[in-house]
Structure 1
């Protein structure tokens, strides 16, 4: 609904726009309606009794105009476009170093889809922003009230159709963000003054005709710089004009339009409620909002607008609020700004302050800043009387739009300093830059600015020139030239939340780690050395660090030396700590509880009782409760729940993990406790019956892998003695094995190993079956799979290690190369993929059986080719001929002749006296005679 406007205020501008529209379009059409509608929006906002101050987020021009207006008007009430539930946190900004972000966080949702959790809303604040100027003024000036009027954090998600919706406008030209860009996580960003065209063709038109690469550069060149020195009325009208233009040319997406209009209705409803409740004169108030919302056309607009908007109640979700560190890179990444634009804005803010001598507002005691005495005096001075109503503001738009652009004089000293500094930074980062490159950067910057119709090179022109002249083919270091320019022109400032503004959990962590004597709030990695033997009090620090390692992201607390296992307590540890870098993660832990023990217990319960929890996950939670919390109560509770989960499982997917964790817990309780907990005894008893029931099905199920079936057998065999002592029946296991009839070769070999363990299949029969497999040409291609099954059998039957070595050795000894080489890759890949953890056992056994030296391999006899009974009783061999060997062989001349022919004797016997054939040969070869004698006399 268009408001009634005074035709006299902007009558000259309306006439010019009508003529321009008629000349451009050939007659009145939609273009005229848009242009005149923009003027009407500006006129309507200017005439509103409650002064509207339009801003753009993180704009130095907006911040400068805000500081000027606050000192001139000194309003008693400041209405700020910011989530109303974040108001109590703003006083904590004085304990932080900007930039920081005000955050609303919810780990458990009630009223929203569960997959949205956790919910997070952040509102970043920098010093070069209009919102910070308004906050600092309102909090430090006596008698001034700050009222946040935007939708609450809960309504941010109530008005979203999906979790993937975002208020950010992604910049396709923005490079990938670095580590600092992740400071906000996946939070939804809320900013004051999201001023960017939502009409893609309009933005493309502006960028092309402005000869710039991205939106941030266009705004800096054509809005930021001209408005930096403008008066208050000009600033307001130009910002209202831009906001109205972008609003009227925005595409008509129903969902986004509804959200924008609902936000405006929400804010005007809240402001009218406050004005009515407090009796504040609208002339004594100031409404700070984005220029996009300042040019609103909803019926609720203004102090005399309609009261037709009903604010919905919040959901049952419990929100936590706090401050988290932010950075320029994080703001740029979240809101789709060009890399380095916020840093350039901070530099521009410092230049504006120096040039105009405007005293900015800063919170008293603000970390990282010093409050000027003049600003402190002005903040504490009594409010000046409100200026008399002088009617509507004069038309400043016509003169501003007709004024030619101001050509700034080239500041050669500044540009020369930039050129020298970037060459110095490039050399430090590995570039082969010289003085000639500095001269080239200087001249190229001027050249690029001239090509883009600019008399003075902007930071973006300088950045392009530096990349062109210095960066050749490759980047020798970690940073490229574009990043070096961003650092040189301002750098990525990273904020910090002070100790007093931290949640109780974070302060508790800092207090408990105080004995380490480290600056934990400092960014970067610090090394902590813990010698618990010399300083027993460091044991508590070790406990805290291990819990932080479990709860926080990788890198926040990383152990270098030392580990924590069940039943072990190291006496020395070494840690790399980066709690200052990961301060956001530590603060968000504080939203979940008041101590890290409470947070860890809640997370373990959430994992164990989750809808997708498996037996292995619950047992892992039991182990973590024992390791980090040393809580027998929690471990017993989770252990009983693991028993319930096991009874309901119908798959064997987690059997290997269950076996590993149960073995570890049993070993721990047997050494650390006088008796086993009742839950683990019940778990072994139930698991024995459970896996016996599932065993026949698992052998024939194609979805059950050999490793999983081997883990089931490992549980049954390794827990058998304990299970039988608790009342289990071994016949159940025997029947389960007897009912198993696998078709897969690997599972067949695994079944044979299980039968060998149970005693229903002897070693001789098992050896005979393997020999039969090697003798069947049709089965030879599948023999590697049988070997894989035998390898997995080492899990339940480790005593078969020597037999597995024998089976592999027989394959290599008996098969010819044309048969062996084709399936050798299959054997290797099968062993690597499915038996890597069991290979060391096989290698140790092979090392025990095979000779230690290569020279002994020729005379080595495999132990499986000798009779164990006679091998141990046989006396040492004598290398001399036995006296009874010749008469024995002489008594069997036929045998001697056959052996002589076999040994290649063709010339007959050379004997001095008549003797049986072959006697002379045996006389010359006593060792052969002895071996033959032993062979013939053997029983």
Structure 2
């Protein structure tokens, strides 16, 4: 460019700025250098042969100016500041409802730190954005080429993790509370033209003197409104000036500025490469970029810049996948730190600006059901961009335009917000509508505005309606945002979904619920009446495993090992969680494939425990047909178990192994080889760790009890597979715990092994109660006994006796202090075994309060001699004898179970004097069992043994446990 051109364009503006610098600066000429540098940046950008179109992201003024300029210029090539590897996806926007975001996703990283995974980059697109106008024009106009020139998604993370001026992560100080604010997840956001001062003092100064609360309101008042109806040259020069100002006042020369300049070098290098390869005239092109990058000072700037001064670094070996995900106004605001409601207000202003300026926007063919208009197809004569005259001087000198008050619009807003407030529980009235109307005008006047902006109206509504309480879940500020257009949420069309998402929608088609719709939909599945719905049920259970909580939620029905419901009810919100469903498509082509990959990743992860691997085995058995994956993961569980040196996961391992064993025993002809090997290996493994676990302070009593539960519960199978019981006996013998709860657990294990009798265990418990030094820690012994019910459930009566003796023998001054400790210990560490203890206590203690006074505890009753005489014929009728005429069939069943043979004898022994089999033999052989069952059935009378001794019925369980179980089963059937 020549000096004559420079003097002609901005000579007057330079002179004015020099005079202003001389008047206000009282030091070196730094201010003059900054002011004149701004003009130089504008002049340089304006004179570039390849027309630069500066924009601001989601700016209605930028979108309107873009639509107007595209119709005037009709460029043949549009260069767009957007990740170049996202170009193939832009054509899919026509199948979506905006706003949506173009996403680049990488689940497995190579060349980046592993803790960064997964990597995600999103570029939101809204209707009220200049980039959408450029995309729609280029894709629907024949002969026009759209070229994306910004760095790739891979370079976003290469260059300081994407910490550029237009990059942000989800969240922010003004992030909305609605769930739509998380639609972008933890993705790095890339926006076109993020324009905001990085100099904190400058932003604070602008907000204070502009009498506004946040940056979005300042931009709307001092940039959007003045530029809304400006001509093309004025718009460009003002945006160049703002971009240059924010760039020159950006603090420091750090990494962020380096990334900015590298991006600009990258984009100009790509444009020059394309121009050289295609031979396109730069005057037929349009370069759409953020105003921050338009006023660039790098050497590579312009088509005549250095062609070999910048080398584009290669990408890493990371494999990137691309797709479209739903977005929303709230998500955009949260990700880029905009004020809540600002994007919705911008969309409203965009629609109003189109009606006022009569500009016809570009809309993709098929977008939102619209058709391409004939006016769009008309081609105007191309406009040639040349050096523009100085428009900045006049724009900066002119006073702000006085926008007349639109009373009808403001009155409509006031009435509508009162109506919305009443629907949401506020006690608003017509008087509040009048107050909002007048307060809006008052606030606008205090802020030097003739016409209230939406932000003035929002403040007035909060002041006049909300007052000091919010009766519903929405405050007045949120109601104003909804009234101004609301949080529009986009949707990706079926044709633009990845194969996995389309397959999910196809599988759920029999439900006829349109799962792509937002909100919660109830689905009822009756597989008994409609067997084809079983495929829908399988898909829903897998989606519940893969998608975030709340996407699919079962209301009725469950799926466990060996159990499948015939009727199910689901709450589905797949439309709300469409982003998560789309990202599943990046991992595979079907949900079965993705589930298998995730199960492998969980099982083979570096921190996977044996419980984690067994959980993966269980999920593979539940959701995937066939045993291939389950057997593979089960074999891996053996390796993980052999490497573990702690017992932290023992309770979970025990629970899952029991469930898998029960399932395989009922559904398979033989046990899988891996689970047999697991039981054998686990038996030896836990025997080895048992002495250490008893002494380890970090190992809890519940974990040690789970180890013993595995050893005793799997003992039969382990011994049949070749394990040696002596190994367990040696492990128990080598255990010497110091903790009272573990000591009680060890005593229970010795009773189970037969090295400690039940009488000796009772004697040790009595000794604990007799020792005043041990009484304070007695609750911990009881905690150990309760945990012992997991490996040794037969000790339930002894534990009930130990607890009862404590309550009976200890005085209140001793009992009451440790009673809260006992309760909290049992609730926190032994909730599940305590249920067995309660059932046993309910069986032993009398069921009625009147019988409690005459009740004698079983452990206080006298034992029956083994050679006790049987009742003489014709003697007093006993409770056992009364059992015969009432329940002869039950007596026969128990007699046969115990191997007693004989015939009914005596007319009084049978209901009608008829003979019957084996009942008398039962009475003679098992008086205690008969006595217990007679008491259970309510048969009165005393059993006469001939020696004056009573045989307590409660000894049935201790002497004849199988008889007790048989009687319970017989009574349940009868």
Using the size of structure 1 for normalisation, the TM-score is: 0.91
SS state of the match for residue 10, structure 1? helix
The residue aligned with 1:414 is 409
Q: Quick one: distance in 1 between partners of 2:366 and 2:628? A: 47
Aligned-pair distance for 1:9? 1.2
Q: Quick one: distance in 2 between partners of 1:626 and 1:163? A: 44
Aligned-pair distance for 1:174? 1.9
Q: Within the alignment, does 1:380 sit opposite 2:377 as a pair?
A: yes
The residue aligned with 1:364 is 365
Correspondence for 1:866 among 857, 861, 872 = 861
**Per the alignment, do residues 162 and 184 of structure 1 end up closer, same or farther by CA in structure 2, a change over 3 Å counting?**
closer
SS state of the match for residue 359, structure 1? coil
Correspondence for 1:535 among 530, 536, 539 = 530
The residue aligned with 1:723 is 718
**Per the alignment, do residues 673 and 173 of structure 1 end up closer, same or farther by CA in structure 2, a change over 3 Å counting?**
closer
Q: Quick one: distance in 2 between partners of 1:871 and 1:241? A: 109
Within 5 Å, give how 1:209-228 maps onto structure 2.
209-228=209-228
Does structure 1 conserve the Cα–Cα contact (< 8 Å) formed by 2:165 and 2:260?
no
- 1:664-712 deviations in whole A, cap 9, x for unaligned? 0000000000000000000000000000000000000011110110000
Does structure 2 conserve the Cα–Cα contact (< 8 Å) formed by 1:57 and 1:193?
yes
Q: Quick one: distance in 2 between partners of 1:264 and 1:666? A: 64
The residue aligned with 2:258 is 258
**Per the alignment, do residues 321 and 171 of structure 1 end up closer, same or farther by CA in structure 2, a change over 3 Å counting?**
closer
**Per the alignment, do residues 839 and 297 of structure 1 end up closer, same or farther by CA in structure 2, a change over 3 Å counting?**
same
Q: Within the alignment, does 1:637 sit opposite 2:667 as a pair?
A: no
Does structure 2 conserve the Cα–Cα contact (< 8 Å) formed by 1:754 and 1:797?
yes
- 1:576-618 deviations in whole A, cap 9, x for unaligned? 0000000000000000000000000000000000000100000
Q: Quick one: distance in 1 between partners of 2:532 and 2:605? A: 37
Does structure 2 conserve the Cα–Cα contact (< 8 Å) formed by 1:133 and 1:362?
yes
Deviates more, 1:408-417 or 1:166-175: 166-175
Q: Within the alignment, does 1:122 sit opposite 2:118 as a pair?
A: no
Q: Quick one: distance in 2 between partners of 1:171 and 1:194? A: 16
Q: Quick one: distance in 2 between partners of 1:871 and 1:4? A: 128
**Per the alignment, do residues 606 and 163 of structure 1 end up closer, same or farther by CA in structure 2, a change over 3 Å counting?**
farther
SS state of the match for residue 299, structure 1? coil
The residue aligned with 2:150 is 150
SS state of the match for residue 7, structure 2? coil
The residue aligned with 1:473 is 468
The residue aligned with 1:187 is 187
Within 5 Å, give how 1:201-216 maps onto structure 2.
201-216=201-216
The residue aligned with 1:925 is none
**Per the alignment, do residues 162 and 312 of structure 1 end up closer, same or farther by CA in structure 2, a change over 3 Å counting?**
closer
Q: Quick one: distance in 2 between partners of 1:443 and 1:608? A: 66
SS state of the match for residue 6, structure 1? helix
Aligned-pair distance for 1:28? 4.8
Does structure 2 conserve the Cα–Cα contact (< 8 Å) formed by 1:566 and 1:668?
yes
Deviates more, 1:863-872 or 1:829-838: 863-872
The residue aligned with 2:24 is 24
Aligned-pair distance for 1:386? 3.4
The residue aligned with 1:920 is none
The residue aligned with 1:489 is 484
SS state of the match for residue 6, structure 2? coil
Q: Quick one: distance in 1 between partners of 2:75 and 2:356? A: 26
Q: Quick one: distance in 1 between partners of 2:822 and 2:507? A: 54
Q: Within the alignment, does 1:324 sit opposite 2:325 as a pair?
A: yes
- 1:153-180 deviations in whole A, cap 9, x for unaligned? 0000001259999823999762543100
Aligned-pair distance for 1:116? 0.5
**Per the alignment, do residues 803 and 294 of structure 1 end up closer, same or farther by CA in structure 2, a change over 3 Å counting?**
same
The residue aligned with 1:354 is 355
Q: Quick one: distance in 2 between partners of 1:49 and 1:170? A: 38
Aligned-pair distance for 1:473? 2.3
The residue aligned with 1:441 is 436
Aligned-pair distance for 1:849? 0.6
Correspondence for 2:603 among 578, 583, 608 = 608
Q: Quick one: distance in 1 between partners of 2:607 and 2:437? A: 62
The residue aligned with 1:197 is 197
The residue aligned with 1:888 is none
Q: Quick one: distance in 1 between partners of 2:166 and 2:793? A: 57
* Count of aligned pairs: 877
- 1:76-97 deviations in whole A, cap 9, x for unaligned? 0000000000000000000000
Q: Within the alignment, does 1:455 sit opposite 2:456 as a pair?
A: no
Aligned-pair distance for 1:878? 9.5
SS state of the match for residue 8, structure 1? helix
Correspondence for 1:581 among 576, 580, 588 = 576
The residue aligned with 2:732 is 737
Aligned-pair distance for 1:873? 6.6
**Per the alignment, do residues 189 and 865 of structure 1 end up closer, same or farther by CA in structure 2, a change over 3 Å counting?**
same
SS state of the match for residue 233, structure 1? helix
- 1:78-127 deviations in whole A, cap 9, x for unaligned? 00000000000000000000000000001100110111011000000000
- 1:271-323 deviations in whole A, cap 9, x for unaligned? 00000000000000000000000000000100011121111111111111000
SS state of the match for residue 436, structure 1? helix
- 1:55-80 deviations in whole A, cap 9, x for unaligned? 00000000000000000000000000
SS state of the match for residue 8, structure 2? coil
Q: Quick one: distance in 2 between partners of 1:717 and 1:309? A: 72
Deviates more, 1:732-741 or 1:854-863: 854-863
Does structure 1 conserve the Cα–Cα contact (< 8 Å) formed by 2:173 and 2:337?
no
The residue aligned with 1:625 is 620
The residue aligned with 2:782 is 787
Q: Quick one: distance in 2 between partners of 1:456 and 1:756? A: 89
The residue aligned with 1:337 is 338
Does structure 1 conserve the Cα–Cα contact (< 8 Å) formed by 2:172 and 2:335?
no
- 1:429-464 deviations in whole A, cap 9, x for unaligned? 011111111011011101111111111100000000
Q: Within the alignment, does 1:174 sit opposite 2:174 as a pair?
A: yes
- 1:454-504 deviations in whole A, cap 9, x for unaligned? 111000000000000100222111100000000001100000000000000
SS state of the match for residue 864, structure 2? helix
Q: Quick one: distance in 2 between partners of 1:728 and 1:282? A: 84
Q: Quick one: distance in 1 between partners of 2:866 and 2:790? A: 30
Correspondence for 2:848 among 849, 853, 877 = 853
Q: Within the alignment, does 1:595 sit opposite 2:607 as a pair?
A: no
Contiguous gaps of at least 5 residues in structure 1 = 880-929
Q: Within the alignment, does 1:514 sit opposite 2:509 as a pair?
A: yes
Q: Quick one: distance in 2 between partners of 1:867 and 1:254? A: 91
Q: Quick one: distance in 2 between partners of 1:564 and 1:872? A: 55
The residue aligned with 1:280 is 280
**Per the alignment, do residues 188 and 170 of structure 1 end up closer, same or farther by CA in structure 2, a change over 3 Å counting?**
closer
Does structure 2 conserve the Cα–Cα contact (< 8 Å) formed by 1:169 and 1:336?
no
Q: Quick one: distance in 2 between partners of 1:111 and 1:3? A: 49
SS state of the match for residue 832, structure 2? coil
Q: Quick one: distance in 1 between partners of 2:628 and 2:833? A: 35
Aligned-pair distance for 1:840? 1.1
Q: Quick one: distance in 2 between partners of 1:658 and 1:120? A: 36
SS state of the match for residue 559, structure 2? coil
Does structure 2 conserve the Cα–Cα contact (< 8 Å) formed by 1:3 and 1:44?
no
**Per the alignment, do residues 634 and 419 of structure 1 end up closer, same or farther by CA in structure 2, a change over 3 Å counting?**
same
- 1:863-899 deviations in whole A, cap 9, x for unaligned? 11113426997999999xxxxxxxxxxxxxxxxxxxx
Correspondence for 1:807 among 802, 806, 812 = 802
Q: Quick one: distance in 2 between partners of 1:725 and 1:163? A: 63
The residue aligned with 1:294 is 294
The residue aligned with 1:109 is 109
SS state of the match for residue 747, structure 2? helix
**Per the alignment, do residues 508 and 337 of structure 1 end up closer, same or farther by CA in structure 2, a change over 3 Å counting?**
same
Does structure 2 conserve the Cα–Cα contact (< 8 Å) formed by 1:50 and 1:283?
yes
Q: Quick one: distance in 2 between partners of 1:760 and 1:165? A: 75
Does structure 1 conserve the Cα–Cα contact (< 8 Å) formed by 2:64 and 2:361?
yes
**Per the alignment, do residues 618 and 350 of structure 1 end up closer, same or farther by CA in structure 2, a change over 3 Å counting?**
same
SS state of the match for residue 174, structure 2? coil
Q: Quick one: distance in 1 between partners of 2:855 and 2:458? A: 75
Aligned-pair distance for 1:252? 1.2
Q: Quick one: distance in 2 between partners of 1:351 and 1:163? A: 35
Does structure 1 conserve the Cα–Cα contact (< 8 Å) formed by 2:166 and 2:194?
no
Please give the root-mean-square deviation of Cα atoms over the aligned residues, in Å. Answer: 2.1
Aligned-pair distance for 1:571? 0.5
**Per the alignment, do residues 388 and 682 of structure 1 end up closer, same or farther by CA in structure 2, a change over 3 Å counting?**
closer
**Per the alignment, do residues 388 and 841 of structure 1 end up closer, same or farther by CA in structure 2, a change over 3 Å counting?**
closer
Does structure 2 conserve the Cα–Cα contact (< 8 Å) formed by 1:166 and 1:188?
no
The residue aligned with 1:902 is none
- 1:768-800 deviations in whole A, cap 9, x for unaligned? 000000000000000000000000001100111
